[in-house]
Structure 1
Amino acid sequence: MQSRKYGRTYHYPFSPGTTSDDRINHHWWRDISNITQLVHTEKLDGENNCLNKYGAFARSHGAVTQSAWTQQIRQRWQLIKDDLGDIEIFGENLYAIHSIEYRRLEDYFFVFAVRHHDMWLSWEEVRFYAALFDFPLIPEVNIATKGVGEFEFSQLIIAHAQRDSHFESWDSQQRCSMEGIVTRNLDAYPVADFSHNVFKYVRKNHVKTDIHWKRNWQRAPLVYERNTAGGQNELDV
């Protein structure tokens, strides 16, 4: 097997952006209570890509990806493939615009997890490998949830998810809040225990674009291109 796909992240029960095929962790508070320290990050509206010694993979991991919108990350992979060893770097690829458009992007691939064999590495190690391979880290969301009760915890997640994206998010030509928040165990944990260590909140009315965005996809301009070209209209893909 060349790669195993990233596990499905279970929603908090108070996450309003669930659909019929989403999974919900109804025992989330028990799991949270067993974790010493958490880190909260912004959920970005892109494509989950994995880089390992065998290639660059999209969500399915059935075969290496060949899509046009992963050409840039596949070129980056060519430069680092011989140094990856047995680690797998997972990141959100924002090269193509999905439902949310980000207007202050300075890069395209944001690392959110690193796997080594049957372990998801600690957040400190994720930071290390992102820096080692010169990738930006997924934006952290500073939420003081340590020591709070179940209800206050949920209210803090909901309140912070209503804020703007780190990269200025737009949906249907209107400013919008970030897509959501992902919470994970700061420490390392086994792959088999993924569902007890990672949780997500997705805002209401977020449009999933897993299929139709690919039909007429557009490259997301970086912020310097917007500043020099006066917007996206003159930018090609």
Structure 2
Amino acid sequence: MLSQKYGRTYHFPFSPGTTSDDRINHTYRDDIQLIETLVHTEKLDGENNCLNRFGVYARSHAAPTTSPWTSRIRERWEFMKRDLGDIELFGENLYAIHSIEYKRIESYYYVFAVRCLDKWLSWEEVKFYAAIFDFPTVPELDIEQVKDLSHDTLEPQVLAWAQHPSVFGSTDTQTGEDCTREGVVTRNAGEYPVSAFSRNVFKYVRKGHVKTGEHWTRNWKRACLVWERQIINE
């Protein structure tokens, strides 16, 4: 194996979008008390793609992906692979439309994490490396000090963010109606060991989020970037 896959992100206990094989962090409050600063970001509805010096990987890191919806990011990777070294970029690939169609995306790849050997890098370093390779990061909702966070404010805060549409405008692919964002990811804004991933990253996912069926891979459609929509509407 040339790369270790991204760890499974544990759900907050109040996340309604859990399935039978998801895991829930019931002690998240205790874990958060050991963290200095939290960053909350929007969870985007794409495919988790890792870029490292060996290739482009989907959720499984057994071998590099060759799926048609990763063709664009694999082309980008060819130009940057020799500069990655021990850096591994993780991002949401929005090239293919899943359960949410975004109206205002300017890029197909939004970085949300960077790993270097046995460390997950800080959020500031994530933004630094994303900028070096000319990628945007996922939308940042808030950064806050844990010492300023009262016992009862985190849950309603995450729930409130979850009720809003995506920063990029979100449409349900089945109904064509505007919808809420997929969810919220809360993580330690500092760096932490790979072995401590489950105690430093938490997520909220909306109920019944996945709308794609078993035939999605045969019938998938490419997402439009915002400038393409502007041309269509002119």
Question: After the TM superposition, which of the residue ranges 115-124 and 207-216 deviates more from structure 2?
Answer: 207-216
Contact 1:37 1:187 in 2 (8 A): yes
Q: Look up the match of 2:72.
A: 72
Q: Look up the match of 1:185.
A: 188
Percentage of matched positions with identical amino acids: 62
Note the C-alpha offset of 1:149: 2.5
Q: Look up the match of 1:156.
A: 157
- Note the aligned Cα RMSD (angstroms): 1.5
Note the C-alpha offset of 1:211: 4.5
Q: Taking structure 1 as reference, are residues 27 and 164 closer, same or farther at Cα in structure 2, changes over 3 Å only?
A: same
TM-score, normalisation: structure 1: 0.94
Does residue 166 of structure 1 match 2:178? no
Q: How many residues align?
A: 231
Q: Look up the match of 1:195.
A: 198
Q: Which runs of 5+ in 1 are unaligned?
A: 232-237
Equivalent position SS for 1:155: helix
Contact 1:145 1:153 in 2 (8 A): no
**Alpha-carbon distance in 1 for matches of 2:149, 2:110:** 29
Note the C-alpha offset of 1:230: 3.4
Contact 1:163 1:178 in 2 (8 A): yes
Equivalent position SS for 1:182: strand
Note the C-alpha offset of 1:18: 0.7
Equivalent position SS for 1:77: helix
Contact 1:143 1:160 in 2 (8 A): no
Contact 1:47 1:58 in 2 (8 A): yes
Note the C-alpha offset of 1:229: 1.8
**Alpha-carbon distance in 2 for matches of 1:228, 1:61:** 38
Q: Taking structure 1 as reference, are residues 150 and 214 closer, same or farther at Cα in structure 2, changes over 3 Å only?
A: farther
Contact 1:40 1:140 in 2 (8 A): yes
**Alpha-carbon distance in 2 for matches of 1:134, 1:89:** 12
Note the C-alpha offset of 1:215: 2.3
TM-score, normalisation: structure 2: 0.95
**Alpha-carbon distance in 2 for matches of 1:160, 1:134:** 28
Counterpart of 2:182, as a letter, is: E
Matches within 5 A, 1:1-237: 1-142=1-142, 146=146, 147-171=148-172, 172-207=175-210, 209=212, 211-230=214-233
Runs of 4+ in structure 1 deviating by more than 3 angstroms, as ranges, are 143-146, 208-212
Counterpart of 2:188, as a letter, is: N
**Alpha-carbon distance in 1 for matches of 2:157, 2:215:** 33
